[in-house]
Structures are given as C-alpha cells and as structure tokens.
C-alpha cells in the first residue's frame, strides 16, 4: 500500500534574533493509511514543529523548510497557500495541546464547528449545523443538541478537547495530527480522551500522528514510534519492537524515567542535564553530553540512522556496538518490565 504521508529529509529553520535555529534536522518517516504513528521526545525536540511544517502553519516569513512532505504523492512544501488551505482541516486536521485556549472565546462551539464544514463544503448553514451536532454526539458530548450553542468557557477542559476532536474530524480527514492532546488534561480525562481517539480512529479509519512525551500514551495507542532528540530522529520502529529491543541510550532514558505503580522508588530516574540549544548544538552525536555511554567517536561523528538487523522494521542512530546495546537494553527491561506489554 502506498503511504499516506511520506516525510523525506525534512529540515526546518527559524530565523531568530540570535541567528538561525535548526528546529527540525533531516527527519523522515511514513504514515500508512489508518496507521497511528507516535512521535516522542522532550519539549523543544522539534516534534511539534515537524507537524506544524507538515500543515504549513509556521510563519512563512521566518521559516525555511527543505525536504519533502509527500501527502498522497503531492509535495505540501511546494504547494500554494490556496492548496494548503484546501488540505488543512479537510484532508489533514490537527488538534492541539491546550484545549482551554484553542477555541475562540467569542464564538459558540456550533459556529466554530460549522465554520470548519463550510470552509470546505458547499453546504447550507443548516446542513453544517447538523453535521456539527452529529460530530458532537460522536465525541460523546452529553446533551449535544443543547450544548451546541454554548461558548467554550462553558465547557470543561476535557469537554473542550472533545470539541476540538469533533472539529478536527468533521470533514473526515485522512490524517489527524494530535499535538500532545492529553498533556493539559488531568489523568482520568486523559484516559477518556485517548479511549475516544482510539475508538474514532477505528470508526473513521483516520491515520493519526500522535505527538507526545508520554511513553504510556505511545504504548496504548501507536503502531509505530519515532523518537526525536534535538531536532533529529534517534530511533524509529514498530511500537512493540521499541519496548522490547530499545536501541538508543536516549530511549532507555525515557523508559527508565517512567513512573510505575508496582515498584517503590524513592526518586524517579531522570536523564541528567538539559536538552541542548538548537542554535548551537553539540558536535557529533547531540546526545553525547548527557549520555552515560559516550565514547570518543560520539564527540566527533554524527551517527547515521541505520537499520537494526531483525524481522521487523527498526532504525536507530547510535555508535554503540550491537552487543553492548542488547546487553544494556536487556538490563533495562529487567528493571522496568511491564511497560508496553
């Protein structure tokens, strides 16, 4: 099957007052129709910018993007702004991290949902409203026919995120980009929203790019995972493979820092240090200043993304020899067993 979305060697630079900032540096991945791809990484690693670039939502005057974003074979980076507007909200939709601020406070949610319909379909107001109501019911807003004329401030955070999801799915897009859709919500609401997304993904057959920093979310929802660190992909594999044979020290760090219920610890493990500045990234492997396995080569040479021999698709970018990786991964899994299974 031809991939729905092919991102090839995507590079995005921002002009800032302090110089060029390389926010995305050579990122490639595919999304198949109906697939859920997770992009994981710390804040500022470029995962959101990758998706904003796919949507063409970066400020054009301050951004330079190269590479290819092939959506059903069409390069969106070269598309006209008119064509991009057709794609946005219709073929590719997006939901954002903070539902409290993502809805316009002065319009009713019915109006905001209908707007998404009428922008792309030649339908009457009444039909658009009927479609809006249908979607509000699909995302299980109670008493939707009454709530449709309410304003965003009359909804709770979880309900607003449901409205956002309804708005994103209203034109049955082929691809939904969910930028940390549960980060701003409390834990029980998070579970409900994830459950809802999974359900809708099956009902609508929408492919999803799930941006998150939560490996638990990845384990629950994704088919494939891209792990990003400092604007680059460091590991990319099927979800079970990542949890069973993680190959990159950064991925180990992420897994080691997951809180778990069944183990009592005084203090959660963490990856020491701070993510590097994207204005002036470290030489060689960008993770080397924080990596416990740093060798001389790590400071000199940028590790290439290379395939891991095995039955399933798995890529990683680390200089460590395979034997050490297998050993360290096994050690880690022994202590954190339970994650992802």
Name the residues that contact another protein, by CB under 8 A. Answer: 55, 57, 85-90, 93-94, 96, 98, 101-108, 115-116, 119-120, 151, 153, 164, 167
Q: For 194, what's the count of Cα atoms within 13 Å in the CB-facing half-sphere?
A: 24
Distance CA 99, CA 155 (A): 10
Q: How far is CA 54 from CA 45, 65, 109, 177, in A?
A: 16, 10, 26, 9
| Integer-rounded Cα radius of gyration of the chain | 21
Residue number with CB closer to another protein (116 or 217): 116
Residue number with CB closer to another protein (115 or 137): 115
Task: Compute the least distance from the CB of residue 106 to another protein, in Å.
Answer: 5
Residue number with CB closer to another protein (109 or 254): 109
Distance CA 292, CA 238 (A): 25
Task: Compute the least distance from the CB of residue 128 to another protein, in Å.
Answer: 13
Q: Which residues of 43-52 are buried (b: 16+ CB within 10 A; e: fewer)?
A: ebbbbbbbbb
Task: Compute the least distance from the CB of residue 90 to another protein, in Å.
Answer: 6
Strands 63-71, 74-75: parallel, antiparallel or unpaired by DSSP? antiparallel
Closest CA to 259 of 245, 250, 269: 269
Task: Compute the least distance from the CB of residue 100 to another protein, in Å.
Answer: 9
Q: How far is CA 195 from CA 96, 188, 217, 239, 261, in A?
A: 17, 11, 11, 18, 21
Residue number with CB closer to another protein (68 or 115): 115
Residue number with CB closer to another protein (210 or 333): 210
Task: Give the tokens for residue 58.
Answer: 């970066």
Task: Give the tokens for residue 23.
Answer: 């926010």
Task: Compute the least distance from the CB of residue 223 to another protein, in Å.
Answer: 24
Residue number with CB closer to another protein (4 or 113): 113
Beta bridge partners of 7: 29, 69
Residue number with CB closer to another protein (98 or 240): 98
Coil, helix or strand at residue 234: strand
Strands 36-40, 224-229: parallel, antiparallel or unpaired by DSSP? parallel
Instruction: Yes or no: say if 327 and 320 are a contact pair by the CB < 8 Å rule.
Output: no
Task: Give the tokens for residue 271.
Answer: 């990856």
Task: Compute the least distance from the CB of residue 149 to another protein, in Å.
Answer: 10
Distance CA 208, CA 51 (A): 11
Task: Compute the least distance from the CB of residue 171 to another protein, in Å.
Answer: 9
Task: Compute the least distance from the CB of residue 239 to another protein, in Å.
Answer: 26
Residue number with CB closer to another protein (120 or 213): 120
Task: Give the tokens for residue 95.
Answer: 């939901």
């Amino acid at each position: 099957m031809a991939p729905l979305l092919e991102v090839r060697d995507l590079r995005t630079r921002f002009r800032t007052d302090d110089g060029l900032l390389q926010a995305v540096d050579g990122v490639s991945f595919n999304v198949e129709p109906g697939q859920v791809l997770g992009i994981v990484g710390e804040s500022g690693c470029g995962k959101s910018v990758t998706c904003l670039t796919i949507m063409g939502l970066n400020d054009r005057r301050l951004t330079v993007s190269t590479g290819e974003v092939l959506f059903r074979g069409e390069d969106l980076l070269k598309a006209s702004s008119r064509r991009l507007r057709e794609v946005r909200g219709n073929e590719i939709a997006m939901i954002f991290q903070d539902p409290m601020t993502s809805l316009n406070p002065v319009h009713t949610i019915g109006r905001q949902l209908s707007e998404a319909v009428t922008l792309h379909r030649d339908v009457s107001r009444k039909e658009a409203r009927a479609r809006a109501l249908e979607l509000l019911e699909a995302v299980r807003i109670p008493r939707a026919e009454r709530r449709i004329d309410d304003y965003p401030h009359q909804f709770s955070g979880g309900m607003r995120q449901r409205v956002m999801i309804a708005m994103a799915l209203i034109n049955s897009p082929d691809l939904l980009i969910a930028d940390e859709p549960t980060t701003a919500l409390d834990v029980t609401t998070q579970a409900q929203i994830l459950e809802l997304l999974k359900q809708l993904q099956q009902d609508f057959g929408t492919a999803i790019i799930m941006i998150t920093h939560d490996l638990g979310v990845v384990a629950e929802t994704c088919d494939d995972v891209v792990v990003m660190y400092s604007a680059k992909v460091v590991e990319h594999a099927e979800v079970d493979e990542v949890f069973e044979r993680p190959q990159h020290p950064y991925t180990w760090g992420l897994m080691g820092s997951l809180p778990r219920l069944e183990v009592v610890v005084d203090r959660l493990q963490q990856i020491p240090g701070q993510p590097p500045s994207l204005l002036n990234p470290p030489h060689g492997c960008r993770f080397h200043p924080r990596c416990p396995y740093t060798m001389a080569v790590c400071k000199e040479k940028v590790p290439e993304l290379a395939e891991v021999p095995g039955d399933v698709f798995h890529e990683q970018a680390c200089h460590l020899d395979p034997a050490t990786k297998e050993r360290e991964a096994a050690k880690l899994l022994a202590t954190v067993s339970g994650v992802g299974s």
